[in-house]
Amino acid sequence: MTAINGTWRNWARTESVTPVRVERPTTIGAVQRAVVGAARAGLRVKAVGAGHSFTAIAVATGVLLDLDDLTGIVGVDRDRGRVTLLAGTRLFQLPKLLRPHGLALANMGDIDRQSISGAISTGTHGTGTAFGGIATQVVGLTLVTADGELLRIDEEENSELLPAAALGLGALGVIVEVTLQCVPAFVLEAVERPIPMNEVLEAIDDHVDGSDHFEFYWFPGTGTAVTKTNTRADGSVARRPLPAAQSFVDDTLMANGVYRVTCAVGAVIPAVVPTVNRLAERLWSNRDFSDHSHEVFVAKRTVRFREMEYAIPAADVPEVLRAIDDLIQERGWRISFPVEVRFAAADDLWLSTATGRATGYIAVHRYFRENHTEYFEAVEEIMNQHAGRPHWGKLHTQDAASLAQLYPRHGDFAALRDRLDPERRFTNAYLDRVLGA
Ligand SMILES: Cc1cc2nc3c(=O)[nH]c(=O)nc-3n(C[C@H](O)[C@H](O)[C@H](O)COP(=O)(O)OP(=O)(O)OC[C@H]3O[C@@H](n4cnc5c(N)ncnc54)[C@H](O)[C@@H]3O)c2cc1C
């Protein structure tokens, strides 16, 4: 989150707002008072995390609740490997917090800047055909509801609400505590290889089902997929981390620094983009290393971009990628950012993009100084033909009517929102669009 002169901006610079006021509660009681105070003043109230959503989901026009002072561990259940965190805790704080307890998150996405509450509320996910997104690791949470009361939701209390509240878009109340089911700390063995795209697509099931965490990046205009295959190993095995110097050169100087310059040039001179893509393809390939899970899951992203990501049936991934390739060639577009492809297990969270089906995720990106609209809208049309569900935190044009067709429990979620937030204390324009006013 960036606040300059009281104006909040998201990371991608797609949204900004000057809220009526910003509150930074340091206790759960202060969150309750902030919600009651907002109601008395007739204002809406919204908790924001790290502002890493590309959509307007976190835009707070009334009271913006900044939970950066509400962080850390509340309690640990060592027998069950569960940890309860305050809602503003950032993912990058977790390794240090979990290490003394020998625990780790079962799976993570590409970065760790997000707050735990923001990450679960939008369905943030990584890759791995046997693994769900971070919200599937939630076994309990505590909400401050619209009347300022605390509502505990877990296996013992209000358990029927957990599949809705664990991934609630910030629409049901302010999360103040999150209980996560963790796993024993583990090591990931990483193998990164460039492989011809056709070979990857022809053997996609072998890649996806034959490994714990498989994903690939495809730079449009090249026939190569940069594959990443991560295998889980016991936390006690010897690690072969990337030397600090190589990590700095690979991730900071090359993958981000050189890339920043070439993207900027590509935005002005599109003809250089294919060369840039071939360079990027080489920079990101051919590494073998192993390290603590979070060091392997997470990368740095310092070049700003815009993103749209759709969840489709996993079996449709090859067909959709070929359609995107045809589209880009037909239109003659020069796209400097890769298409990212990931996988996840089916889950039963009402608004999860993977609800009820084994899922493939396809994400398209554009450098933030380029116009993304035409590319994203054309790709979105392809996704629509495959019952694609958009990531709640990434750009898309769906609304409540179209989303109701895609989520069997969309109506149930809307009814729960009516019950918990009848006056729409927690809404904003984005939530009204995707859930109904
Ligand atoms: C560079 C980059 C990389 C990314 N990589 C991935 C990835 O690998 N996988 C993936 O799935 N996504 C990814 N994302 C998307 C990102 O994970 C989500 O948008 C996530 O929500 C951002 O978390 P945040 O803390 O910034 O939340 P915000 O964007 O600040 O908020 C998101 C939502 O959560 C709500 N919220 C926040 N805190 C609370 C609370 N305490 N109570 C109730 N509601 C709350 C907000 O009101 C809002 O509705 C990426 C985004 C960026 C910019």
Checking if the pLDDT of 286 tops 90, the result is no
The H or E element that residue 74 is part of is strand 73-77
Of ligand 1's atoms, which has the minimum distance to the CA of residue 12? Answer: 53
Beta bridge partner(s), residue 151: 143
Summarised one tens digit per residue, pLDDT across range 94-112 is 999 999 999 999 999 999 9
Choice from 124, 308, 421 to test ligand 1 binding pocket (greatest atom count within 8 A of CB): 124
Q: Does the beta carbon of 213 sit less than 6 angstroms from any atom of ligand 1?
A: no
Backbone φ and ψ of 121, nearest 5°: -65, -25
Confidence of residue 314 (pLDDT cuts 50, 70, 90): very high
Q: Tell me which of 1.10.10.10, 1.20.140.10, 3.40.462.10, 3.40.50.1780 is the CATH number of domain 186-390.
A: 3.40.462.10
Of ligand 1's atoms, which has the minimum distance to the CA of residue 121? Answer: 34
Q: Does the beta carbon of 122 sit less than 6 angstroms from any atom of ligand 1?
A: yes
pTM over 0.85: yes
| Residue-wise burial string across 54-65, b where 16 or more C-beta atoms lie within 10 A, e elsewhere | bbbbbbbbbbbb
Backbone φ and ψ of 433, nearest 5°: -65, -45
Q: Give the residue range(s) of CATH 3.40.462.10 domains in the chain.
A: 186-390
Which three-class secondary structure state does DSSP give residue 400?
Answer: helix
Checking if the pLDDT of 292 tops 80, the result is yes
Summarised one tens digit per residue, pLDDT across range 151-176 is 999 999 999 999 999 999 999 999 99
Residue nearest to atom 37 of ligand 1 (CA): 118
Q: Does the beta carbon of 127 sit less than 6 angstroms from any atom of ligand 1?
A: no
Summarised one tens digit per residue, pLDDT across range 40-82 is 999 999 999 999 999 999 999 999 999 999 999 999 999 999 9
**Residue 55 Cα, ligand 1 centroid: separation in angstroms?**
10
Residue 271 CA to residue 268 CA, distance in Å, equals 9
pLDDT score for 277 = 61
**The CATH fold of domain 73-184:** 3.30.465
Put the strands of the sheet holding 389-390 in their side by side order. Answer: 287-292, 186-196, 224-234, 213-218, 339-344, 359-367, 305-313, 389-390
Residue 156: both structure tokens together:
């013992």
Of ligand 1's atoms, which has the minimum distance to the CA of residue 391? Answer: 11
Q: Does the beta carbon of 314 sit less than 6 angstroms from any atom of ligand 1?
A: no
Checking if the pLDDT of 141 tops 90, the result is yes
